Amino acid sequence: MTTTAPDAALGHQNGREPADLVAAARALQPLVRENAAANEAQGKLVDAVDDALHEAGLYGMWTPRELGGAECDPLSSLEIVQALAAADPSTAWVHMAASLAIGTGGAYLQDDAVKKMFSGERLPVVAGQGTRPGTAVTDGDGYRLSGDWSFASGIKHSQWIHTLGIIQETGEPRIFVLPVDEAELIETWDVMGLKATGSIDYKIRDAFVPETFTHLGPVETPLRGGWIFKLGIMHFALIGHSGWALGVARRMLDDLAEQVRGKAGRAGSMAENTRFHAIYGELEAKYHAARAFVYEVWRDATETLENGGVLDNDQRTKVRLALYNATWTAEAIAVEVYKAAGTAALRTGPMQQYFRDMHAGTQHVTSAPHVLEGCGKYLAGLAPNHTWLYMNLVPQG
């Protein structure tokens, strides 16, 4: 479903296509790579990287075209996130999290909210937490929202917060969007990996949010934009995290191969070690198998959506399983690369950073054990009357 865009948003129209954003992400790799350590030291993206993401239109990856975005399809989105993750995992993580919140706000919020949010010179950055809910009570033409949330990736770059709350009177889950200055940001991100995501905690106390700045949590019916927005919030996250894991794995394999080639000809070099050859070949096979599974399920999903359909439970299960498999395959690759790289992975540098970032990424809810359990239960035919609510397999109806 597509509606007329609010006039205030038309200034963002940039005419970029998904292929343009794929090319832009690849072109930005040198800049992102050279700033990875500075990002980490600062605990957020440096201005040069954040500005480059804006200027390239990359924050509009999942924003409706009428609001200046590219409405990237799943396969293009995978390429974009992989390219950024291969340059710096934290940059890719901030980008995919912000792109999700910007784009879904643009697609699912009412015109009044969109006019206010998209009225600036460039796309707004939106960040927050859409899994652990706060509490909201009805108050006139809106709600009073309170709660404590964690893992607000990219919030240090944002002007708006997108956050999940449960309506106390009805139990309905809704996404609330409000200015970032209505929350108290709490510096809690003291972690071993993904440091530059700045995924700090925040709390909100009795903030009024107009109803027009909210939408149903598991919504799959857009008010503007094309077929991609029939995915709903969670499936955008699955695309992003799949691309992230594949990009991190690819970079670690490439860095290891480059290191070994650089020492070829030295006595005892891994370049002449047949055991290393076998290990590296096996890791490449695992990577390509995981990548093929991700692309297989998202090609299938794209075909369904392009033809006017919605994802069935089999497809919803397989996109979750493909992400789970990609994440833990990438983790296994990270471990083997760390062991093979020796002191190069132990010392401060890209390989050590990627090892830490990969292990931080495995702790996301999308790769939790219950996801695999739910996928197995469904695919074994043991959950015929179940469906997916976010990352949980639940009884239908």
The model's pLDDT over 230-264, given as tens digits with 9 standing for 90+, comes to 999 999 999 999 999 999 999 999 999 999 998 87
Q: What is the rounded average pLDDT for all residues in the chain?
A: 95
Give percent of the chain above pLDDT 90. 90
> Is 90 exceeded by the pLDDT of residue 352?
yes
pLDDT tens readout for residues 163-178? 999 999 999 999 999 9
> Is 70 exceeded by the pLDDT of residue 30?
yes
Domain borders along the chain are: 7-117, 126-216, 231-392
Q: How many CA atoms lie within 13 A of 251 on its CB side?
A: 27
Q: Which residues contact 350 (CB under 8 A, 6 or more apart)?
A: 33, 36, 251, 255
> According to the model, what pLDDT value does residue 9 have?
44
> In the chain, what is the greatest distance between 2 CA atoms, to the nearest angstrom?
77
pLDDT range class, residue 160, cuts 50, 70, 90: very high
pLDDT range class, residue 271, cuts 50, 70, 90: confident
> According to the model, what pLDDT value does residue 148 have?
96
> According to the model, what pLDDT value does residue 6 have?
52
pLDDT tens readout for residues 83-100? 999 999 999 999 999 999
Confirm if 143 and 254 have CB atoms less than 8 A apart: no
> Is 70 exceeded by the pLDDT of residue 101?
yes
pLDDT tens readout for residues 304-318? 999 999 999 999 999
How much is the average pLDDT of 109-125? 96
**C-alpha span between 150 and 130 (Å, rounded):** 10
Q: Return the HEC string of the chain.
A: CCCCCCHHHHHHCCCCCHHHHHHHHHHCHHHHHHCHHHHHHHCCCCHHHHHHHHHCCHHHCCCCHHHCCCCCCHHHHHHHHHHHHCCCHHHHHHHHHHHHHHHHHHHHCCHHHHHHHCCCCCCCCEEEEEEEEEEEEEECCEEEEEEEEEEECCHHHCCEEEEEEEECCCCCEEEEEEEHHHCEEECCCCCCCCHHHCCEEEEEEEEEEEHHHEEECCCCCCCCCCHHHHCCHHHHHHHHHHHHHHHHHHHHHHHHHHHHHHCCCCCCCHHHCHHHHHHHHHHHHHHHHHHHHHHHHHHHHHHHHHCCCCCCHHHHHHHHHHHHHHHHHHHHHHHHHHHHHCHHHHCCCHHHHHHHHHHHHCCCHHHCHHHHHHHHHHHCCCCCCEEEECCEEEECC
pLDDT range class, residue 2, cuts 50, 70, 90: very low
How much is the average pLDDT of 378-385? 97
pLDDT range class, residue 267, cuts 50, 70, 90: low
- The pair phi, psi for residue 119, each rounded to 5°, is -100, 0
> Is 90 exceeded by the pLDDT of residue 388?
yes
CATH architecture of 7-117: Orthogonal Bundle (1.10)
The domain 126-216 is placed in CATH, from the list 1.10.3720.10, 2.40.110.10, 3.30.70.360, 3.30.420.40, at 2.40.110.10
- CA geometry: angle 14, 18, 24, nearest 5 deg: 75
In one-letter notation, the amino acid at residue 235 is H
pLDDT tens readout for residues 181-217? 999 999 999 999 999 999 999 999 999 999 999 999 9
Q: What CATH number was assigned to the domain covering residues 231-392? A: 1.20.140.10
pLDDT range class, residue 349, cuts 50, 70, 90: very high
> Is 50 exceeded by the pLDDT of residue 292?
yes
Instruction: Please give the model's pTM, rounded to 2 decimal places.
Output: 0.95
> Is 90 exceeded by the pLDDT of residue 159?
yes
Closest alpha carbon to 44 in 194, 200, 196, 202: 196
Find the range with the poorest average confidence among 10-19, 99-108, 174-183: 10-19
Same fold, 126-216 and 231-392: no
Q: Are strands 126-139 and 160-167 parallel, antiparallel or unpaired?
A: parallel
How much is the average pLDDT of 155-160? 98
Give me the sign of the Cα torsion angle 345, 350, 356, 362.
negative
